[in-house]
Structure 1
Amino acid sequence: MRVLGLILSSIFFSLLSAISSHEFAVDGKVLELTESNFDSAISAFDYIFVDFYAPWCGHCKRLAPELDKAAPVLAGLKEPIIIAKVNADKYTRLASKYEIDGFPTLKVFMHGVPTDYYGPRKADLLVRFLRKFVALDVAILNSDSAIRDFVEAAGTNFPIFVGFGLNKSMISNLAIKYKKRAWFSVATDFSEDMMVLYDFDKVPALASIHPGYNERSVFYGPFEEKFLEDFIKQSLFPLALPINHDTLKSLKDDERKIVLTIMEDEADEKSKEFVKLLKAAASANRDLVFGYVGVKQWEDFTESFEVYKKTKLPKMVVWDGNEEYFSVIGSESIDEEDKGSQITRFLQGYRDGSVIQKQISGPSLMGYINSLIGIRSVYIIVFVVAVIMLIQTINKEEPLRVGTRDQAGDASSSTPLTENREVHRSGDKED
């Protein structure tokens, strides 16, 4: 009986432990977290995607149904990813701890460690994007069909690296380091068809593929970690990157200068032809990032570089990604004829130091990343400004009334008040 009692006791405590470890129902629904259970949730799941939202935020409201669709799919993966949300407007301690300064802010917690999420927000793309976080560091591909399946499953949101005839150990450390930003694989068996398809003629070779931009490049060595990492870092972006809110976010960790071309409309045929020339220049200048943006696509951003209605376009500058950019003397704009030579002269002028250093007139890179603020914040700012203006108006009017009233009784009292009023006016001008 004593043994039976011990067995029953053991079962009881096991069940109790199981119940406590399943405090959160894994039913494919989005978890609603608070300050009291947030840490428990982060500890309970290896992978948890958290939406820090505010109830009044329009972007958050549009995101919510997409998360509802994605949640059951992600929860059903072999390595489940749980979707959760936190009202960061209410639970300010969590908002402060995780530096939430805009809504929605999205983070992926992997084994308790947070990383910012800048990927797509539509349910199907969100699922494909998040699968990257739980994928193998390096996939082993042993046939042509395995290579095709891997590339197809990877989708178009990340660059793909395939090492042909490459030992897995050569890229495993870098695959772990850049796992959040690219797919990595090693092909151990492949035919000549694959060599033709990915345009390499000898092994070992590391192929970089950008399916979304239809671009490929090949690295033949030396296969030392430093050179491999340089190739991987330079291949994380396409040769010419369209600049928008999402791509700016991906640039924030890149230390290279950005050769930025500003055009009227990046979608028209002239611009598309110009982008081809940019790609040719980028392939020979991989120490720089080449980006382009249309005034029609993002006018506020282009105005930060002194681009207005009368500015001759295309215009090229070199931006440090923060608050400074460089205009190359004699290459302020690109003429219609021989654009390729003009791009070459622009780059040579920049490298020779024939530049004028300028300050951007708008936000920095991180400023643009965080430029989406909620309407409630706008209301608060407007309210505060209105109150300040009201106080200033009262302060300006008050001395006049007091001085007039006191003139009959004690004229001397109006002097310091008048002087004080002049000081306030002076201060207003300085502000």
Structure 2
Amino acid sequence: MCGVLLLLLLLIVCIVWWPMMIRCHEGKVLELDESNFDSAISSFDFIFVDFYAPWCAHCNRLSPELDKAAPILSGLKTPVVIAKIDADKYSRIASKYKIDGFPTLKVFMHGVPTDYNGPRKSDKLVLYLRKFVAPDVTVVESDSGITEFVEAAGTFFPIFIGFGLDESAISNLAIKYKKNAWFAVAKDFSENMMALYDFDKAPALLALHPNFNEQSIFYGPFEDNFLEEFIQQSLLPLTLPMTGDNLKLLKDDKRKIVLTIVEDETDYESKGLIKLLRAAASANRDFVFAYVGYNQWKDFAEAFEVGRKTTLPKMVVWDGNEVFFSVIDSESIDREDQGSQITLFLERYREGKVIEKALGASFVGYLSSLVGMRTVYILVFLVAVMFLIATIGKEESSDASTSVADNRETARLHADKED
């Protein structure tokens, strides 16, 4: 009887205390520990958790960004709660969720965790997390509804709109790629809307990249495999500028990367070349086309054997990991007839006229961003231990050799004395 009363009392406390805690922290970042972590995860439909360490500089830079984002996200129609936990201190929680670097960010949707690899600035973080609570597919029924959807989606993610398509045609793929794009179907639209987005018949699936002023149209067939191939190839813009955030996006894309390295991606000549690359990308969807300015990201460019004396622009094909390919007689792009030179570069690559090379030392930074700094520290520690063992082994071997030599010399002297 006492046990039942105790459980009842505990239940009443949870019912009363937890909502009070929610109201108390509404609009602020929740500080979690081992006593309330599981309760928080089960109580909120959507909760964004920062697994941090107090000594981590990246964590300390992230903290004020979370403070800015928290009140905005808590005010959404479907709120997202932001929380954090000292994963260095509460190691049981860190171990349970396999935290191997700081900060590690996860979104718990109805208690199920998924890794967050999106932006960390408050404004973009808000845009990114809004997607987790949005409908998988938004149904719009007028031109104004289409315009409102595109404006609300913003410019950070690609947008897919099915004109004349049934919601069920893309719902499964919308769920699968929800973290990467916005999806909608338009039930009713005018010819003016078709002219605006430059397509002439329906059904059609429109892919928009507002941030890059790019769009493409897919007219079918609308079976899952063909639809998914179009969506996969349209998640990235035709030409992708290399940045830290965009480098993370490439992790999920299995295509090889045609990388063009220019002196400065903002100058007039580079912009003209990028337009030509966009045309080549449209005709060669089996590649990702990317570019980087030596002035914008020197360390990254140098990993592909580019220095101050290298003739630029230079093109290579990168596998996204440790290997890239130089195309024989087609590395550098001259100023004249660059479109033909890009075409020749691709033809020679497909013919196998390449030299395989290993990525330069800058790849270490890329590796650390993938596996987490704690793992890197462990690897460095293990290498140091192996080196120490090898060194000690050599010294012991050297000492043993010296000892044997000394014994032989002593024996020889003893024998000479007896003689």
Q: Same fold (TM over 0.5)?
A: yes
Letter of the structure 2 residue corresponding to residue 169 of structure 1: S
Counterpart CA distance in 1 for 2:406 and 2:368 is: 56
What are the superposed Cα offsets for residues 331-372 of structure 1, whole Å, 9 maximum, x if unpaired?
121122111111101111111111112221243796163388
Q: How many residues align?
A: 399
Matches within 5 A, 1:213-292: 213-292=212-291
1: distance between equivalents of 2:69 and 2:335?
48
Task: Tell me whether 1:370 sits opposite 2:367 in the alignment.
Answer: no
Superposition TM-score, scaled by structure 1 size? 0.82
Look up the match of 1:112.
111
Q: What displacement does 1:40 show?
A: 2.5
Equivalent residue of 2:50, what SS?
A: strand
Matched residue, 1:19 = 16
| 1-structure distance, mates of 2:11, 2:102 | 41
Note if 1:93 corresponds to 2:92. yes
Distance in 1 between residues matched to 2:409 and 2:72, nearest whole Å: 76
Question: What amino acid is aligned across from residue 22 of structure 2 in structure 1?
Answer: A
**Counterparts of 2:63 and 2:143, CA distance in 1:** 40
SS of 2:22's partner is coil
Q: Structure 2 CA distance, aligned partners of 1:158 and 1:347?
A: 29
Residue of structure 1 equivalent to 2:300: 301
User: Which residue identity lines up with residue 370 of structure 1 in the other structure?
Assistant: L
Q: Distance in 2 between matches of 1:323 and 1:112?
A: 36
- Retained in 1: the 8 A contact 2:100–2:372? no
Q: Which amino acid aligns with 2:369?
A: I
Match of 1:51 in 2: 50
Mean alpha-carbon deviation: is it higher for 180-189 or for 317-326?
Answer: 317-326
Alpha-carbon distance in 2 for matches of 1:13, 1:302: 60
Distance in 2 between the 1:279 and 1:414 partners? 79
Of 118-127 and 291-300, the range deviating more from structure 2: 118-127
1:84 is paired with a residue whose SS is: strand
**Distance in 2 between the 1:366 and 1:115 partners?**
22
Aligned mates of 1:205, 1:281 — CA distance in 2: 23
| Change in CA separation of 1:13 and 1:203 when aligned onto 2, cut-off 3 Å | same
Secondary structure of 2:101's match?
Answer: coil
Q: Secondary structure at the match of 1:172?
A: helix
Say if 1:245 and 1:369, in contact at 8 Å, map to a contact too. Answer: no
- Number of the residue aligned with 1:419: none
Q: Which one-letter code corresponds to 2:79 in the other structure?
A: P
What is the Cα deviation at residue 13 of structure 1? 8.5
User: Is this contact kept in 2: 1:252–1:365, CA < 8 A?
Assistant: no
**Structure 1 vs Structure 2: percent identity of aligned residues?**
63
Match of 1:32 in 2: 31
The C-alpha deviation readout for 1:268-325, integer Å capped at 9, x for no partner, is 2221111111100000001111111122222222222212222211111111111212
**Contact 1:318–1:325 (Cα < 8 Å) also in 2:** yes
Q: How does 1:75-86 map to 2 (within 5 A)?
A: 75-86=74-85
Amino acid at match of 2:145: A
Secondary structure of the residue aligned to 2:315 is: strand
Partner secondary structure for residue 353 of structure 1: coil
Which amino acid counterpart does residue 268 of structure 1 have in structure 2? Answer: D
| TM-score, scaled to structure 2 | 0.85
Does the CA contact (< 8 Å) of 1:252 and 1:366 recur in 2?
no
- Aligned counterparts of 1:414 and 1:61: Cα–Cα separation in 2: 65
The one-letter code matched in structure 2 to 1:19 is: V
Deviation at 1:17, TM superposition (A): 5.1
How far did 1:232 drift? 0.6
Correspondences of 1:1-16 after superposition (within 5 Å): 15-16=12-13
Q: Which residue of 1 aligns with 2:139?
A: 140
Tell me the alpha carbon deviations over residues 13-42 of structure 1, each in whole angstroms, 9 at most, x when there is no partner. 874452365485342211112234323322
One-letter amino acid matched to 1:120: P
- In structure 1, distance between residues paired with 2:409 and 2:55: 50
Residues 269, 22 of structure 1: CA spacing in aligned structure 2 closer, same or farther, 3 A cutoff? same
The Cα shift of 1:123 comes to 2.1
Deviations 1:389-426 (A, max 9, x none): 9x979x97xx99xx9xx9xxx964999xxxxxxxxxxx
Cα–Cα, structure 1 residues 96 and 270, in superposed 2: closer, same or farther, change >3 Å?
farther
8 Å contact kept, 1:30–1:68: yes
The Cα of 1:144 is off from its aligned counterpart by: 1.2
Whole-Å separation in 2 of the counterparts to 1:48 and 1:324: 38
Listed as ranges, the gaps of 5+ residues in structure 2 are 1-7, 411-419
Distance 2:40 2:408 in 1: 67
Asked if the contact 1:54/1:60 (under 8 Å) is kept, the reply is yes
For 1:63, the equivalent position in structure 2 comes to 62
Q: 1:365 to 1:343 in 2, by over 3 A?
A: farther
Greater CA drift, 223-232 or 310-319? 310-319
The 1:103–1:266 alpha-carbon spacing in structure 2 relative to 1, beyond 3 Å, is: farther
- 1:178 to partner: Cα distance: 0.7
The question of whether the paired residues in 2 share the 8 Å contact of 1:265 and 1:271 is answered with yes
Cα RMSD, aligned residues only: 3.4
